[in-house]
Structure formats: structure tokens, C-alpha cells
A and B are shown apart, each in its own frame.
Chain A
Amino acid sequence: MDTLVAEIRQKAEDLLSRKVVSMVLGFTRGNLPMVTRPCIVRSPEDADLLWWDDFCVMNLAAFIPPRHEGKIGVFAKRCDLRNLVILNSEKKINLHDDFYIMGIPCHGMLDSEKVRQAVPGNKRIESVTSGKPFIEIMQHGGSQSLERHDMLRESCLTCSQTSPDIVDEWITGPADPEPLPHDSEQSPVIEPDRDAESFDALFSECIRCYACREACPSCYCETCFVDKAGYLWQGPDIPGEKNSLDFHFFRAFHMLGRCTDCGACESACPVHIPVRQLVLHLKRGNAAFQKYEPGLNPSLQPPDACFCPAIHNHRK
């Protein structure tokens, strides 16, 4: 078995039996290849349920149980850490008192849809074995290798690969031993002079399932603005057209300065909408936000949270 998985299980068992934490938040195996399940383990005997592989794409900061007694142990990758910092600074959680954070060195998570598209035809994938630089795809009657880097999620390709200093301990070493080759910035999907029509095209497949919202740790409003008005927020265009732009625009404005670009929204989207791109687009066009990396520095305030961010952050 993977040494990382073994270490995670051992650590969870240890923390739970010593009662350092009352529960542990991590991932468990899915019953299909290329999918995992966020899970909460409450007793040391169940520690063997925990799992880690290349498809832990959900952001665990979105799965913190609403009620808990005692500390929660979290096996967090870099983006989960950053979102925990954001939740802490927005006073949704108390990171210091209620959490025991275990950092997982992350080599980027894979996009199951990219893997499926790389395997032509309508064939059942039996299993995927991780590895570097190649991953192995097992199918009925054969296997094939794919370059791991080509299968990385879009968000992982631009990951800054830094994490906030909130980790109680790292699993298998202090940090990523060999940084991934990554693009510092992808070419923008949304051009600066986009017109309404091309925006429409980007979001035309949206089925309003709100998986992007639900998978997002920063989307925690008890009642979302779109749920205030049923479907009528979409305006008069709805019959015959899938006008979901209002939702995505509003959400993007709510996310600016709070989005860690973790990619959970895109991983959850069933119709491959480039959900991240709107926030990235806003960020690119806004000087104050360009240099601000949400969730990286717990003592830094987002540019829109104070009257004059330049002075404020300078004094810190």
C-alpha cells in the first residue's frame, strides 16, 4: 500500500485514540475508479477507511461538519489549507482552537474527465494507478500509460505550490519534495474585450445544478441569492434559453479576493464550464487584487476588506 495512505491512517488512529481530536476529516475510497469521497472518521477503529490518491479533488474546507465537540483533525492539501485560513479570517471557524491541521504534500490532482477523454470510445475504466511521470489506466483487456502532467486539473497547473503557515504537522516530510513543473499563468480563457455573446457561450451549458457553489468552501451563505427568488432571478429569457450568466457573475464578484483557485467548482461541474475563469478574469483586471493571494498569509487582509489596503498591509 501507498506509504502516504499508511501514514494517514496511522496518524488518524493515533490522534483519535489519544483523543487529541474527536474526529478526522479526510477522504475515503470511492466505489468507482477516479473518484473519492470526503469522509469523517470518529473512532480509531475506522481509521482504515481513510484514503489518498490522485483524485481527492474536493476541497475539504467545504465539508466541515456544522456541529462538533472537540478538535477536528484535517488532512489538507495546499488549497484546503488556504480555504481554512479564509474561513478563519471570516470568523466561520476557529482554526486555532478547533482544528488540528495535517498537511499533505500534493503533486496536483488529476482531472478524471481528461483521463476519460484520453481513453477513446465507450470503455469502462477498471482502475487507475498513480505514478510519475506516467499513470496506468486499466481497462477490460488491456492497459495504457498516460503522462501524468497532461492529466492534471487546470487549477493544479497554475498552483503557486505554497501553503500558509498553519500546519500542525506534515505527513511524509515538510513539503513537496520536487515541485511540479507548472505554468505561472495560463493564457486567459476570457479575453478582456469579451462581449455578452461570447460570455453566453462560455456558460451556455450550465444546468443550474449549483454544484460549483456547493463544492466551494467560500460559498457558505445560508441562503444563496439565487435561492431567494426561485428561478425568477434569471429574468425573462429563461424559456428556451439557458441564461445562467447572472448567477455566475454574481458568484464571481462574491469570490474575488476569497477564491483560492482550488478548482473544486470545476471538478464538480458536470458540464465542464470553466467556472474559475470569471474570478481570474476579475482578478486580472483589478490592480489591487492582482498581487493578493487569498488564504496564503493569515495576517494579510484582502484588498476590499479595508479602506486603504496599500497602507494597511504596509503597516503590518
Chain B
Amino acid sequence: MDTFILEKTAFQSFSGEVARDYSVYLPTFQKGILGFNPYNGDATALEEGLTRHPLKQFLLPNGDIIVHYHRHPQGSEENRFSPASDDRNIVVLGVRPCDARSVGLNAMALLSDSSNPYQDSGFQQRRRHLIVIGLGCLSPCADGFCGSVGGSPEDETGMDLIFFDLGDSYLVKVLTEKGARLTPEKRFQPAEAADIKRLSDLVATGRKTFAAAADPKISYAEGDINTLFNLPLWEELAERCLNCGICTHLCPTCYCFDLLDHGNEKQGYRFRVLDSCMYQLFTQHASGYNPRKSKASRIRQRFMHKLRYYPENFNQQVACVGCGRCVRYCPVNIDIREVASQIRLHSGGNHD
């Protein structure tokens, strides 16, 4: 695919141009928090690193209305169910490789294929209308460990275009057809061999300083399921785990949700909110019985889902992209890397 150069001085006008046809979101600070905010012509904070909230807000928005219902007073023929749809064309700029990788991981569970009969139509529709413009990481980020989970700082998975910061310009690689739609612009100059050489030099230097490469591997927790299930580790973690939902809410690959109805017998809507396996209510039955009553069982669920159940079902891929949000924002410093190595230690699983 094509490779271009976009001068940094032209970046602002490029975003403005794109914003004419698409809803553009890019990293800016709001209330001191870096997040994907609507483009409004202000200065961007592309180089500031990872946004606080993951990319999933564009694919699995919290409070997503699924269907409106309206009951006609006269008879059932007039009752209406209108599925809500979101067909905004969204461009998200400055998505880091870890976040972009989460799109594909979530898609394995949420989109149907030969091995998965289930289709999340909201996710599918939004994914079709989403253009992801990535930004490769050339220097180590504050908290990430993408190298531990099979990603890398210059991974292109899940992106339509990727930008690399060359100092005074961006090297832009076109990765998909969707991405190609944004580049025939006059501001893009074809990249020359020297530019590509410059990028590979930067990548090579960056690699040397990347602590991510040295991190222990987080791998599929094979081994006897009963052993894993009954590890003393879960009770140990429960002693300090607050059982809050920070890790799940900030995780790019946590997609569990709850369906709720709002309205009355005449009209209303059904919507979904992101749920968290850390919450008591997550598995509470209507009878009052709760199969995951203890804190330890809920912690176990979170890690077993990421490291065992998910890879077991989907190509042996752990449901983690190594963005490091859960580690950084955990008030009691629970670290998935540690949990994974503890599991390996106790279960006699693979040791690579």
C-alpha cells in the first residue's frame, strides 16, 4: 500500500478537511484528562501518549439505545419497534497501536464467523463506519506492555491509516481502502526512500529503549482448569482488591454489558450499559442467588476470562492489548502481568 508524507504544519488543515465529511475525534485534554474529544480546531495532544479511556467508546458506547418501542392505543397492528441505528461516519485520530489492536480482539467475540454464530449488530455497524487513524509509538509510553501480549509499538492491526512522527512531518502508511479515501488530498506527498529509512532508524532506536520488549510474556493460561480455578492466588488478591470497576471500565477489551428497559407500557426504549464482572450484581439471579458471591470469585472471573476462557475460544489470543490502563489506575496495584506469571507458576502451563 501507499506511503505518504504529511508535513506537521499541514496536520491541522488535514484534520479540518476530514472534519467536513466525518465526525473527527482526536486526543485533547479536557479537565486534565487526555481523551478522544471532538475536533474543534484546537491544538491536539497527539504526542501526550495514551488516552484515559479506550477506543471502545466508539464501538460499544455506554448507554447505547438498541430499540425504541411505541404502542399504538388502538391495536397491535400499529405497535412499532424501531431499531436504533448509528451510522455516523467517525474518524478517530491518534489511536495508539494497543487500542487499535483491541478492535480485532473484540470483533472475534462480537462478530460472527465460521466458529462464532453470534453477531453484535451495533458493534458491526459502528465498526463499518469507523475509520481508525493510528499513531505508532516510537518512544516508550508510561505504562504499556504491548510486547508482552503479542503486540508491538508499531503494530498496524485494526488501523486504516498509521502515522509515524518523524519530527517535522508524519510518515503516513495507507493500510485499508477506507484509509485510502482520506489520502488523495493535495497535502500528502509520496514518501521517498529516505523517509522510510528514517522511520526504520527511529523504530530501531525506539526498540532499544522499550521496556515493553523486556516484559514477561502474558500467555494463554493452559493447564488444568480445576487447578487454576482453585488457586490460592484469588483469595490473596481479594484481600486488597477493592472490587471497583476501574480495570474493566478502562479496559479496551472488556465488552460485557447489561440490557435495560426504560419507559412504560406505551413507549420507551431498550438500551445497554457497560457492565463489570467486578460488580456483585453482574451475576446476581432474580431469585437472589449469586454464583459469584465472593470477591475472590469475581477477581478470578476477570483474569480467567482474559487469560483462559477467551484464548480458549478465540485463536489462543489473550484478551489483553497491554495498554497498561488497568495497572496504572488500579488503586491497589493489581497487575495482570503478575497474575499471569503467578498462574504460570502454579499451573504448570507453558513457560515461553
Within 8 A of A (CB), among B253-293: 258, 260, 262, 269, 271, 273, 276, 279-281
CB neighbours of B47 from chain A (8 A): 121-122
Min CB distance, B81 to chain A, in Å?
17
Q: Are A227 and B279 in contact (CB under 8 A)?
A: yes
Min CB distance, A294 to chain B, in Å?
21
Chain B contact patch, size range: 35 or more
Q: Are A63 and B239 in contact (CB under 8 A)?
A: yes
The CA of A117 and the CA of B328, in the complex, are separated in Å by 14
Min CB distance, A39 to chain B, in Å?
7
Within 8 A of B (CB), among A210-260: 210-211, 213-215, 223, 227, 230-232, 236, 238-242
Cβ of A308 < 8 Å from any Cβ of B? Answer: no
Within 8 A of B (CB), among A12-43: 30-32, 35-40
Q: Which of B49, B140, B239 contacts A65 (CB 8 A)?
A: B239
**A278-289: contact bitstring with B at CB < 8 Å (1 yes, 0 no)?**
000000000000
The CA of A124 and the CA of B335, in the complex, are separated in Å by 17
The CA of A125 and the CA of B142, in the complex, are separated in Å by 7
Min CB distance, B287 to chain A, in Å?
15
Q: Are B331 and A242 in contact (CB under 8 A)?
A: no
CB neighbours of A32 from chain B (8 A): 143, 327-328, 333, 335
CB neighbours of B246 from chain A (8 A): 209, 211, 268, 270
CB neighbours of B50 from chain A (8 A): 122
* Stretch of B62-70, B111-119, B121-129, B172-180 contacting A (4+ beta carbons < 8 Å): B62-70
CB neighbours of A62 from chain B (8 A): 242
Cβ of B203 < 8 Å from any Cβ of A? Answer: no
CB neighbours of B31 from chain A (8 A): 205, 272
Q: Are A209 and B63 in contact (CB under 8 A)?
A: no
Q: Which of A211, A231, A270 contacts B273 (CB 8 A)?
A: A231
Cβ of B56 < 8 Å from any Cβ of A? Answer: no
Q: Are A209 and B249 in contact (CB under 8 A)?
A: yes
Which residue on chain A has the smallest CB distance to residue B209?
A140
Min CB distance, A23 to chain B, in Å?
10
The CA of A268 and the CA of B328, in the complex, are separated in Å by 11
**A34-76: contact bitstring with B at CB < 8 Å (1 yes, 0 no)?**
0111111000000000000000011000110100000000000
Cβ of A312 < 8 Å from any Cβ of B? Answer: no
Q: Are B329 and A215 in contact (CB under 8 A)?
A: no
CB neighbours of B32 from chain A (8 A): 117, 272
Cβ of B244 < 8 Å from any Cβ of A? Answer: yes
Cβ of B72 < 8 Å from any Cβ of A? Answer: no
Within 8 A of A (CB), among B225-244: 239-240, 242-244
Min CB distance, A149 to chain B, in Å?
20
CB neighbours of B335 from chain A (8 A): 31-32
Within 8 A of B (CB), among A79-115: none
The CA of A239 and the CA of B268, in the complex, are separated in Å by 12
Min CB distance, A236 to chain B, in Å?
5
Within 8 A of A (CB), among B37-79: 47-50, 52-53, 62-65
Beyond A215-B331, A238-B63, whether A270 also contacts B52 by CB under 8 A is yes
Cβ of B33 < 8 Å from any Cβ of A? Answer: yes
Which residue on chain B has the smallest CB distance to residue A240?
B63
CB neighbours of A268 from chain B (8 A): 242, 244, 246, 331
CB neighbours of A223 from chain B (8 A): 280
Beyond A124-B211, A223-B280, whether A239 also contacts B249 by CB under 8 A is no
Beyond A32-B328, A121-B47, whether A40 also contacts B239 by CB under 8 A is yes
CB neighbours of A205 from chain B (8 A): 31, 33
Cβ of A315 < 8 Å from any Cβ of B? Answer: no
Cβ of B10 < 8 Å from any Cβ of A? Answer: no
CB neighbours of A35 from chain B (8 A): 330, 333
Cβ of A155 < 8 Å from any Cβ of B? Answer: no
The CA of A96 and the CA of B260, in the complex, are separated in Å by 47
The CA of A151 and the CA of B331, in the complex, are separated in Å by 18
Closest 6 CB pairs of A and B: A122-B49, A211-B244, A214-B242, A30-B333, A209-B245, A239-B63
List residues of chain B with CB under 8 Å of any chain A CB: 31-33, 47-50, 52-53, 62-65, 139-143, 209, 211, 239-240, 242-246, 248-250, 258, 260, 262, 269, 271, 273, 276, 279-281, 327-333, 335, 338
A-B contacts, 12 of them at CB < 8 A, read A57-B331, A63-B240, A117-B32, A122-B49, A123-B142, A205-B33, A208-B245, A230-B281, A239-B65, A239-B271, A268-B246, A270-B246
